[in-house]
Amino acid sequence: MKMNINMTRLLCLLLAIVSTMQFPAHAQQPWSQRMSATAMRIWPDSFLLAGDKAAKWRYDQGVILKGIEAVWNATGDRKWFSYIAKSMDHYIKEDGSIRGYRPDEYNIDHVNNGKLLLTLWRVTGKEKYRRAADALRRQLVTHPRTSEGGFWHKNIYPWQMWLDGLYMGQPFYAEYAELFHEDTVFNDVVRQFELMERHGLDPRSGLLYHGWDEKRAQRWADPATGRSPHVWGRSLGWFGMALVDVLDHIPADHPQRSRMTEMLKRFAAATAKVQDPATGTWYDIPDMPTRAGNYPEASASCMLAYTYAKGVRLGVLPATYAALAKKAWTGILKTFITEHPNGDVDLKGTVWVSGLGGNPYRDGSYAYYMSEPVIVNDPKGMGAFILCATELEILLGDRPGQGKRVLIDRYFNNERKKDPLGQEVRWHYTWNDRTNGGYAMLGEIFRRHGATIGNLDAAPTDAGLKGAAVYVIVDADTEKETPKPNFMDAASADAIERWVKAGGVLVMLGNDSGNAEFDRFNMLANRFGIGFIKDSRNRVQGDKFEQGIVTVPDGHEIFKKSRTLYIKEYSPLTVKAPARSVLDHEGYHVMAVAKVGKGTVYALGDPWIYNEYVDGRKLPSNFENYPAADSWVRWLLQKAGK
């Protein structure tokens, strides 16, 4: 008994000590941020690799930067975006020409970085980025093709398609088509994948060989099929990542989209069979794990785990692949990551390169693949790790939006403008708008928490709202903003009220006087005890950001902890039952909430969380709009369905 008492005292003492220990801040950071920090330390100014006399336009830099873009989307921290811009600005001249890029080489690898150029153009509007992206798009117009229309991997590799090339070219090709209305390009994108599957497939295993030579001219090519001798892990990873990334851009109603989703399912099923059951990773030659010299390979493992996790998030792959992705992630951290006392992390176990043909000649044999060096902190592996980490950090969260759909109104807010091609497009508070006034960052937050996002382009009806968990109406149009605005009416208000009472979460975001319609918008708001006042509070002069401060008290029901928010030029609210104010400032009601039937209504007299004030590029670092928006989204999704 005395021994038990002493042991209890000892355990209590140890717990007390542990509870007061201060663990290093870096150990609490997400893995995606820690590896991104390592990349920024290794390549602070430009992408200079061992043996280089000058930094070159390389695809592997784009892999890292797409990972860092995902980190920026997950944090709203300007340092990540600034690093992307700085990295690309090393190559992009003011006239849009790209330092070190030669289009006449017809190297599909050179197209990969175009994805970052599109991001930079969409966010900043700087024409040099669009002109540079246009140059890469022009390469694809004249890029040599096989007789069936498949892009050659490089001009120096004639008549050959490699799995690697699908990642290098197709996500950029699809996003460019989405942005610049090249609808027929989606058919060409799908064709590239279908050709690679048709000619590269091993019918027995369902796996894809590394490369295919249409002319059977290469020594590595099978005389009958043209396929290379082996399945290579990283090439499978490139193909899988390309599949899920292209799905971000092919419209949901496109007739070819289902071909891509079915291909992803086949690909995932085949690669799952060669996932190592002991470590959860994939070997360099995945279908020969026991052969002498073979080894678990980091980049392939990260890429395939990313493919599974994102495929699940997109709703294409079933939840069984979430378990496989988690198993892979555990194995990746255990097998490939080295931590240092100063917080740095290294990624070991990435094969430097593996190709086919060339000089010296690479014959695609097993001995050849095993001869390539395996290195630490290879940029391809690091980029794949960052991408994988961002997806797994989503997958491992509690995801309160799982199975819930968030609709944004595009009927009462229906502003249009001309895009660079002169075509009329929607803008202002839309999911796909990455400029200052868009909601692209907000959409990313909703998706990070497991929700899907969509639009309601027509007047709200019972049918239109069916299946939606959250419905956002923001900044109803005036005649100044839209020639023929759609105003709130009784029928629309009735449908919305019925939907809320049944359990929906309505978000009403107004604007200050002179920038929004009030009278008809209040027809809806008044039903819930809320009114938007024709006023403009927290007016900000120039860059005097302190004039826009609204402070959240600690323990707030939505934001949980004390936050310094930036909410400028908002319309205050009137509040009566069933509504109640949940945030006041200088005697004015800023935010209100109403419980109505089974549903909830949230109101704020400002669009608030558009890109300009959550992406970190403008506001001083003391403002906490991004973490506040994250808490707000979580609260909305938790209320939905209650």
335, 370, 395 — which closes off a domain? 395
Same domain, 572 and 460: yes
Distances (CA, A) of 468 to 169, 353, 441: 35, 47, 20
| Same domain for 387 and 302 | yes
Look at residues 339, 368, 395 and tell me which one is the last residue of a structural domain. 395
Say if CB 468 and CB 642 are below 8 A apart: no
Residue 518 near residue 534, CB atoms below 8 Å: yes
284 as an active site residue: the answer is no
Domain assignment present for 15: no
Is the separation of the CB atoms in 303 and 329 below 8 Å?
no
Do 424 and 391 fall within a single domain?
A: no
**Number of structural domains in the chain:** 2
Q: Smallest Cα–Cα separation from 453: which of 442, 437, 466, 463?
A: 442
Residue with tokens 């599974």: 308
Among residues of the chain, what percentage have pLDDT more than 70? 96
Residue that has been written with the tokens 């049918």 in this structure: 463
Query: Residue 174 belongs to a domain with what CATH number?
Result: 1.50.10.10
Query: DSSP assignment of 100-140, as one string?
Result: T--GGG-BGGGGTTHHHHHHHHHHH--HHHHHHHHHHHHHH
Write out pLDDT tens, residues 360-414: 999 999 999 999 999 999 999 999 999 999 999 999 998 999 999 999 999 999 9
Residue from 271, 293, 268, 291 nearest 281 by CA: 271
Domain assignment of residue 13, yes or no: no
Q: Which residues touch 474 (CB under 8 Å, ≥6 apart)?
A: 408, 409, 413, 429, 439, 507, 509, 607
Residue 214 · residue 226 · CB < 8 Å: yes
Contacts 24+ apart (CB under 8 A), 246-249: 246/170, 246/171, 246/174, 246/189, 246/193, 247/314, 247/316, 248/171, 248/174, 248/175, 249/171, 249/174, 249/175, 249/177, 249/178
Tens of pLDDT, residue by residue over 208-235, are 999 999 999 999 999 999 999 999 999 9
pLDDT bucket at 7, cuts 50 / 70 / 90:
very low
Q: Is residue 391 located within the same domain as residue 417?
A: no
Domain assignment present for 343: yes
In a domain, 131, yes or no: yes
pTM of the model: 0.95
298 & 430 share domain: no
The full length of the chain comes to 642
- Per-residue pLDDT reduced to its tens digit, 568-596: 999 999 999 999 999 999 999 999 999 99
The pLDDT confidence band at residue 1, using thresholds 50, 70 and 90, is: very low
CA 237 to chain centroid, in Å, comes to: 18
Task: Identify whether residues 232 and 378 lie together within a single domain.
Answer: yes
In a domain, 452, yes or no: yes
Q: Give the per-residue pLDDT at 25.
A: 56
* Residue 16: predicted pLDDT: 43
Range of the domain at 620: 405-639
Q: Which is catalytic among the residues 109, 164, 284, 378?
A: 164
**pLDDT computed for residue 15 by the predictor:** 41
What b/e string do you get for 567-591 counting C-beta neighbours within 10 Å, with b at 16 or more?
bbbbbbbbbeeebebbbbbeebbbb
Q: What residue has token string 């949940």? A: 582
Residues 473 and 617 in one domain: yes
CATH number of the domain residue 426 falls in: 3.40.50.880
Q: Are residues 464 and 387 in the same domain?
A: no
Q: Are residues 481 and 368 in the same domain?
A: no
Of 364, 395, 426, the one marking the end of a domain is 395
Taking only the tens place, the pLDDT of each residue in 468-489 is 999 999 999 999 999 999 999 9
pLDDT in tens, 508-547: 999 999 899 999 999 999 999 999 999 999 999 999 999 9
Q: Indicate whether 168 and 203 sit together in one domain.
A: yes
Dump strand ranges (E) for 314-423: 337-339, 345-347, 350-351, 374-375, 405-409, 416-418
User: What tens digit of pLDDT does each residue of 343-359 get?
Assistant: 899 999 999 999 999 99
CA-to-CA distance for 77 and 526, rounded, in angstroms? 38
* 613 falls within a domain: yes
Give the mean model confidence (pLDDT) for residues 99-127. 98
Q: Are 162 and 153 in contact (CB under 8 A)?
A: yes
| Domain co-membership, 274 together with 346 | yes
Can you give the pLDDT at residue 51? 85
Residues 317 and 457 in one domain: no
In angstroms, the CA 202 to CA 296 distance is: 22
**Residue 304, in any domain of the structure:** yes
